[in-house]
Amino acid sequence: MPSFDIHQQEALASRLKAEALRLGFEACGIAKAEMLDEEAGRLEAWLLEGHHASMDYMARHFDKRIDPRRLVPGAQSVVSVLCSYWQPEEPLPVPGTGKISRYAWGDDYHEVLKEKLYHLLAWLEDEVGEITGRAFVDSAPVMDKVWAARSGLGWIGKHTNLISRRLGSWFFIGELIVDVPLPHDAPTTDHCGSCTRCMDACPTDAIYQPYVVDSNRCISYWTIEHRGNEIPDSISGQLENWIFGCDICQDVCPWNKFKKATREARFLPRESITDTLLETWEELDLVGFRRRFRKSPVKRARFGGFKRNVRAAIAPPLDA
């Protein structure tokens, strides 16, 4: 790979960001590939307190999670991108409708974003010659929200999602880690202020203090990651019809008044994804599950987990 002076690096970064927008990303920022010292301490404390619940993978490859150079030898830059998945369609306010998190209404974002990132990586290689780099979308121990914040794309809010002043928080995050030297963008500041709407709205008190989520109390954890046969009564009685994921903390965030509709057709809602009654979901068999959720994030819950979620949502709340 040829060397660049600062002016060439700045020009390359500008063209890279323009190409990212052309490929369908809403924003692109660049951070220096280096050890995440401060974040390492917070992650270690979160793990030691057991807030990752049964997600043991969060504790594996700790060294890679806090240092991108262990994932890509010689890495110099982390390129972060945002891709909106907001769709203007709203679920019908019909009692008994099963709720699926908005990010899972369309096709699996892992595949969609990886495809776009591979194109961006290929473009960069065409520009500078042979490089070493990898694309990441929730597929390796990469702290995506941290890198996006470091690259100036937003700040990590009290609900621990990344928030952009220009886009809100309804977007996916992806990264390229490359050995190409690029000028780094400056982080933005926190704009949550005194707002606690996400904390106040969480029915299970999962956001038990600002900027910390306890997975043991989180509806998204129990309806996606949990592999047990049942959901605890303390959670199932407060599901509010959520059967895959939960959007409550984002629904109430004031910054989402700036949300932008997705330009990616593959994220648009599949037929009947937002208006199917719990009783209808309860009748779904394995063949129907595989057909309805082919190339969908909902497959992560697996058939047994999805049916478990539906049963839990149908059960009356504890105080009924």
User: In which residue are the tokens 């009290």 written?
Assistant: 158
166: which 2 tokens? 């220009």
Rounded Cα distance, 320 and 318, in Å: 6
210: which 2 tokens? 């600002």
Start-to-end CA distance of the chain, whole Å, equals 66
User: Which of 100, 245, 267 minimizes the C-alpha distance to 171?
Assistant: 267
So which residues are the catalytic ones?
138
Judged by phi (left if over 0) then psi (alpha if -120 to 50, else beta), residue 158 lies in: alpha
Rounded Cα distance, 100 and 122, in Å: 35
DSSP state of 186: P
User: Which of 207, 233, 232 minimizes the C-alpha distance to 218?
Assistant: 207
- Type of residue numbered 71: L
| 241 burial level (CB within 10 Å; 0-12, 13-18, 19+) | middle
61: which 2 tokens? 């490859």
